[in-house]
Amino acid sequence: MIRILILALFCIVGISCQTEEHVINNAPQDNLTGNIALATKLAQMVQYPTAIDNVIDGTGCFSIQLPFTVVVNSQTIVVDNVADYQTVRNLLAEDDTNIDTIAIQFPVNVTYADYTTAVMASQAQFAAAVAGCSATTELSCIDLLYPLEVQTYNSDNQLAESFDIGTEEAFYQFLTTLALYDAVTLNYPVAFVNPDGVTVNVNNNEELESAIDSYTDECLVLLNPGADPGNPDLTFEEALTAGTWHVSYFFKDQDETEDYENFDFAFNDSGTITVTGGSSTGSWSTATDDGELELNLNFSSSALEELAEDWTVVSWTETTIELEKISGGGDDIRSLHFTKN
């Protein structure tokens, strides 16, 4: 009897070892460990939302915790709900002749994309924090439904686990630990929520990544704080390429708007710019940098060389576009406004 029990024990151990070896040598098809591209996109989806207040803090590194007070063009605003961000945008759009100013009243509490928090006691500390961090591209307009069931395997302790993740923050923190495991898989199907709030099921890593990629551009447009509040479906490119524009305001050290009063600009779908009023050709393109939309302008004429910059898009509507360029650590601020003819 003893010999039989010992033999049975060896059989059980042998089967267990064989299963563990199979896990190590044959990673599951939907393994997240080592899939850096998908893991990064998932982290962008579930990071702490930092783009919502970019109109005020100018950074996607962190978001200022509500409530806080800000002075916009000499008007004091207490920001204590999401609607107040649009109030700030409206104030900035009211006057086309001034250099907009935004002054945050310190101290403020901030939350970074990785959910850590900090207290900013002064403008100097705040500016140093902005300069010292690198923002990620937030994709909080798309989401997954929770809880998520996750399976993991770790060969160091030969431990296989299955557990639920109940919140975005918990999933974000879990994604930072993927390197600790030989295998990490989601229990598919997983419910994916697009920017319109429609839920679809995805059945593997490939479908999940494809769904994220399909809605990334739409999500970035929705998150951009410069979108036209009267026409939320209008994209910047659609506004830019409709009709012709003139420079209604240009500031560099001083107001130089009159230098461009004879020029009109048509931004073509092909990426070229038709300039009337002078012998110049031009080109345009857009990009997203640290969660902010940028408009790159190039011109062949020296008369327009001051406009040839990578401009940050502050706001746009169907009839106005406000651009800004900040360099020299904040010492050199340029403003360029286009108004539709």
Of 191, 223, 255, the last residue of a domain is 223
**Residue 23 falls within a domain, yes or no?**
no
Of 76, 107, 131, the last residue of a domain is 131
**Residue 9 falls within a domain, yes or no?**
no
**Residue 93 falls within a domain, yes or no?**
yes
Domain with residue 286: its CATH number is: 2.40.128.270
Share of the chain above pLDDT 90, in %: 43
Q: Which residues contact 154 (CB under 8 A, 6 or more apart)?
A: 160, 180, 181, 182
Asked whether residue 60 falls in the same domain as residue 151, the answer is no
CA 199 to chain centre: 22
Asked whether residue 59 falls in the same domain as residue 40, the answer is no
The CA radius of gyration of the chain, in Å to the nearest whole number, is: 26
Instruction: Tell me the mean pLDDT in the region 24-28.
Output: 56
Report how far apart, in Å, the C-alpha atoms of 171 and of each of 106, 126, 162, 176, 177 are: 32, 28, 14, 9, 10
What is the layout of strands, in order, in the sheet containing 183-186? 159-165, 148-154, 183-186
Asked whether residue 111 falls in the same domain as residue 252, the answer is no
Asked whether residue 273 falls in the same domain as residue 299, the answer is yes
**What is the pLDDT, as a whole number, of residue 201?**
96
Asked whether residue 177 falls in the same domain as residue 254, the answer is no
Asked whether residue 246 falls in the same domain as residue 160, the answer is no
Cα–Cα distance for residue pair 198/182, rounded to 1 Å: 34
**Residue 331 falls within a domain, yes or no?**
yes
Q: Which amino acid is at 57?
A: D
Domain count, the chain: 3
Asked if pLDDT for residue 228 goes beyond 60, the answer is no
Of 201, 223, 245, the last residue of a domain is 223
Cα–Cα distance for residue pair 1/341, rounded to 1 Å: 98
Comparing CA positions, the residue from 168, 146, 150 lying closest to residue 46 is: 168
Confidence grade of residue 16 (pLDDT, cut at 50, 70, 90) = very low
Confidence grade of residue 291 (pLDDT, cut at 50, 70, 90) = low
Q: What is the mean pLDDT of the chain?
A: 82
Q: What is the DSSP letter of 167?
A: S
**What is the pLDDT, as a whole number, of residue 20?**
39
**What is the pLDDT, as a whole number, of residue 8?**
35
Domain hosting residue 125, numbered range:
54-131
Asked if pLDDT for residue 178 goes beyond 60, the answer is yes
Asked whether residue 180 falls in the same domain as residue 289, the answer is no
Asked whether residue 40 falls in the same domain as residue 147, the answer is yes
Query: For residue range 183-223, what is the model confidence (pLDDT) as tens digits?
Result: 999 999 999 999 889 999 999 999 999 999 998 878 877 77
Asked whether residue 218 falls in the same domain as residue 94, the answer is no
Asked if pLDDT for residue 164 goes beyond 90, the answer is yes
178, 39 in Cβ contact below 8 A? yes
Asked whether residue 159 falls in the same domain as residue 272, the answer is no
Q: Which residues contact 280 (CB under 8 A, 6 or more apart)?
A: 299, 300, 301, 303, 304
**Residue 230 falls within a domain, yes or no?**
no
Residue 224 burial (C-beta neighbours within 10 Å; 0-12, 13-18, 19+): buried
Asked whether residue 148 falls in the same domain as residue 78, the answer is no
Asked whether residue 276 falls in the same domain as residue 172, the answer is no
236, 226 in Cβ contact below 8 A? yes
Instruction: Tell me the mean pLDDT in the region 132-136.
Output: 75
**Residue 256 falls within a domain, yes or no?**
yes
Cα–Cα distance for residue pair 183/187, rounded to 1 Å: 13
